Homo-oligomer: A and B are copies of this chain.
Amino acid sequence: MIYDQPQALRLAVRDGNFRQPTSGHAGGYLQANLMIVPEADAFDFLLFCQRNPKPCPLIEVLEPGATEPRCAPGANIATDVPGYRVYRHGDLAGERESVADLWQKDFVTFLIGCSFSFEAAVQQAGVPLRHVRQGRNVAMYRTNIACTPAGRFSGEMVVSMRPVKSRDVAKVVEISGRFDVAHGTPVHIGNPGAIGIVDIARPDYGDAVDIEADEVPVFWACGVTPQWVAQKCRLPLCITHAPGKMFVTDLRG
């Protein structure tokens, strides 16, 4: 079953009836990467997002302790995401279906844009995306592109890659550039080795996808970057969404 409306999707999640990736649901609505940190780390992380808007375009930051975002009235951040990951001191400490029992009054929630919005626009413009057609997760890679550090947060950018036909590369740059909150224009086009990607056939996250002879690999900043940086910095505690299982907002993408 496909959920058209974000409210219905979030309620299904809350009631335990939806645990899948959210891609393809609530078409036309913004979906968000989730990052929750204790207030002690919130200024540093907000500053990290401000300094690195391509991987971390902010949709909304909630007040400390708050669970109901303005971008989704009635929603509960602690229960309405189909899957959560808890990291402690940089290690994955578990995957969960709710974090209501872990909730702390000092938790600050960051909702960060994801690439689904521009993917829809690119496809509407007649440019096919192989991973979408094949029903796979997009291929993601850690790179050697340094993010601008902020307080305790520093590390390299994670990128997503989509193979694009040479004739369509300018078009996808133009279209994605209209979606600041979905990472904007690509950060790199055409040469994986130049950004530290050793084997394009082996992504660090998501699923591998073939690149055909008339295609160029196009790389966009990716919302997985803060998860990777939090791991590298051995942040005492953070909670994120599980890959592909985003928070669905009421905002029109």
Residues in A lying within 8 Å of B, measured CB to CB: 39, 42-43, 46-47, 50-51, 58, 61, 63, 108, 150-151
Contact = CB atoms under 8 A, between A and B. Distances in A.
Among A43, A47, A58, A150, residue most surrounded by chain B Cβ atoms (within 10 Å) = A43
Given A42-B43, A50-B50, 12 more contacts: A39-B43, A43-B43, A43-B46, A46-B46, A46-B47, A46-B50, A47-B61, A47-B63, A50-B58, A50-B61, A63-B150, A63-B151
Nearest to A53: B58
Nearest to A40: B43
Contacts of A46: 43, 46-47, 50
A173 B46 CA distance: 30
Contacts of A42: 43
Contacts of A150: 63
A63 B152 CA distance: 11
A51 B46 CA distance: 12
Contacts of A151: 63
A192 to B, nearest CB: 29
Nearest to A51: B61
Contacts of A61: 47, 50-51
Nearest to A151: B63
The 8 residue pairs across chains A and B that have the minimum distance between CB atoms = A43-B43, A46-B46, A42-B43, A47-B61, A50-B58, A50-B61, A43-B46, A63-B151
